[in-house]
Amino acid sequence: MSDRLAVRKTYKLYLGGAFPRSESGRTYEVTDAKGHFLANAARASRKDARDAVVAARGAVATWSGATAYNRGQVLYRVAEVMEGRAAQIAEEVAAGEGLSATRARAAVDAAIDRWVWYAGWTDKLAAVLGSSNPVAGPYFGFSLPEPTGVVAVLAPQRSSLLGLVSVLGPVLAGGNTAVVVTSKERPLPAVTLGEVLATSDVPGGVVNLLTGDAAEIGPWLAEHADVDGIDLAGASGPLAMELERSAAGTVKRVLRAPAEEPDWTADPGLARMTPFLETKSVWHPMGW
């Protein structure tokens, strides 16, 4: 029998492509579905949220300026790396959500497939959502989808991976950058996803992950003037109403919270991509 001590994993935030602890030094205990201790996770502070927004804003030009085809390649690379770590992620999903090994692996496979699905949409959005407009003059009129900018995402609380991918994927596919508040009780798959992003080709700052309490972090993001949109998928009824009111002060785009957490296995369609896209109309003179 080996007397070697286990190397316990340290779960940190993911900000600007790095893995810092919370500047506040706070942590909280994460337990499995039966209440058994799993890990200590960082409890993000207001300063961490501000740092995440700064990192996301700094990455907007790089990510939105990349070609749609290139963004699709990068997102597909994330799916490739997730596939290689599927067994580990499935263990975290099983522990946090109380699923059998088979059901947890099915959830991970669905999350990977969902990621590939969004990767495939990056260079098709302009064709589906854009248009050539009829004009009366010697010029062309085009309407094209453009990213909103920095989007805050409150991840679903129960579906720790598939739900997270279902709300993060559409934000990235459209060319936005993201500040994500993970599931409070089930954050471990999200932190591992951060490790996947860091070892893929996603530029630092495109995705920033904050572990902690959405009720604490959400208001700071909702009122932050440099956040352009917010997805309230993981907010409860009273909290969602509070965040909508706070977001109105800076005229954010708001994707409202569902009445109850949906079945994330359902076909996502385009419903989560379009809220964080803006239509830009341009005129171009005709050549002769």
| Fold (topology level) of 27-285 | Aldehyde Dehydrogenase; Chain A, domain 1 (3.40.605)
Q: What is the mean pLDDT of each run of 10 residues along the chain (288 residues)?
A: 80 97 96 95 97 98 97 98 97 96 97 97 94 84 93 96 97 98 97 97 97 97 98 93 96 92 88 93 79
Predicted confidence at residue 281, as pLDDT, reads: 87
Predicted confidence at residue 9, as pLDDT, reads: 85
| Other beta carbons within 10 Å of 84 | 10
How far are the Cα atoms of 50, 63, 130 from residue 226, in angstroms, in the given order?
Answer: 9, 17, 27
Predicted confidence at residue 288, as pLDDT, reads: 60
Predicted confidence at residue 141, as pLDDT, reads: 87
CA distance 239 to 45: 18
Report the interhelical angle of 68-84 vs 188-198 (nearest 10°). Answer: 120
With a threshold of 0.85, does the pTM exceed it?
yes
Domain borders along the chain are 27-285
Q: Position of tokens 């946090």?
A: 96
**Which residues are within 8 A (CB) of 70 and not within 5 positions of it... i.e. 6 or more apart?**
none
CA distance 111 to 83: 10
Half-sphere exposure of 67 toward its Cβ, with a 13 Å CA cutoff? 3
